[in-house]
Amino acid sequence: MYRIFIIEDDFSLARAMKKQIESWGHEVRCAEDFQNVMQAFVEYDPHMVLVDIMLPFFNGYHWCSEIRKISEVPVIFISSVSDNMNIVMAMNMGGDDFIAKPVDLNVMTAKMQALLRRTYDMGSRVPVLEHRGAVLNLNDTSLVYEGQKIDLTKNEFRILQTLMEQRGKVVSRDTLMTKLWQMDVYVEENTLTVNVNRLRRKLEAAGLRNFITTKIGSGYLIE
């Protein structure tokens, strides 16, 4: 069973698509807040996205571009704007296929099944961690927040990964130093403090204030 994310503001069409896809045994979620599509995308972690071009607030090209910053999940554009220029644009923006409206649900299903088969028989997905809109890519050690890509050192990445994986729990300094030692990097307590402070400055410069909390005598916490 695959998870499919539909970004379509024609709710009657979205319901019909959802029903058709679910009949093939897949799980489906439809976007509801068209200003915060990426938050829903990260939380749902879909195997495929179906997206309309004409949407409230931001168009489908925008959301495909944002998805491509953190994921190689297959994206199919669905639109009544089906002239050659828009089809070429959709492919250039990172789309994998295009379905013209009015949507033939059988054609849609056939295209989806073929793309899912090619993608997940041959490749793997990009793992990410998300909190407060910040998305940590576990493959390239980068952090994306509000369209900004924040490059991290290996030490900063490992610290942030550990804290995000243990979100809501205090992580001791000893645990963090052990994580860094696993990378064959010897870390003294003072070095850990320097790395955490430098990571905080990068987060704050990107707009993520108070992202990491110090618990005196205990360690660090992301709430």
The predicted structure's pLDDT at residue 13:
93
The predicted structure's pLDDT at residue 185:
53
The domain spans of the chain are 3-122, 128-221
The predicted structure's pLDDT at residue 141:
78
| DSSP annotation string for 154-193 | HHHHHHHHHHHHTTTS-B-HHHHHHHHHTTT----HHHHH
Residues constituting the chain: 223
**Average pLDDT over the chain, rounded to an integer:** 86
Report the 10 Å Cβ neighbour count for 193. Answer: 12
The predicted structure's pLDDT at residue 133:
83
The predicted structure's pLDDT at residue 6:
96
Under CATH, what is the fold of the domain 128-221? Arc Repressor Mutant, subunit A (1.10.10)
Q: Measured between alpha carbons, how far is 62 from 59 in angstroms, rounded to an integer?
A: 6
Architecture of domain 3-122: 3-Layer(aba) Sandwich (3.40)
| DSSP annotation string for the chain | --EEEEE-S-HHHHHHHHHHHHTTT-EEEE---TT-HHHHHHHH--SEEEEESS-SSS-HHHHHHHHHTT----EEEEES--SHHHHHHHHHTT-SEEEESSP-HHHHHHHHHHHHHHHHHH--PPPEEEETTEEEETTTTEEEETTEEEE--HHHHHHHHHHHHTTTS-B-HHHHHHHHHTTT----HHHHHHHHHHHHHHHHHTT-TT-SEEETTTEEE--
- Mean pLDDT value across residues 212-216: 92
**Considering the chain, what percentage of its residues have pLDDT values greater than 70?**
93
Q: Measured between alpha carbons, how far is 165 from 55 in angstroms, rounded to an integer?
A: 33
The confidence band for 91, taking pLDDT boundaries of 50, 70 and 90, is confident
The predicted structure's pLDDT at residue 122:
52
Residue 204 has pLDDT above 90, yes or no: yes
CA end-to-end distance (rounded Å), the chain: 32
pLDDT higher at 89 or 161 = 161
- Mean pLDDT value across residues 72-80: 89
The predicted structure's pLDDT at residue 183:
56
pLDDT higher at 55 or 186 = 55
Beta-bridge partners for 137: 128, 142
pLDDT in tens, 101-154: 898 999 999 999 888 888 876 545 557 788 888 888 877 778 888 878 888 888
Is-above-0.85 flag for pTM? no
- Token code pair at residue 195: 């790395």
Residue 27 has pLDDT above 60, yes or no: yes
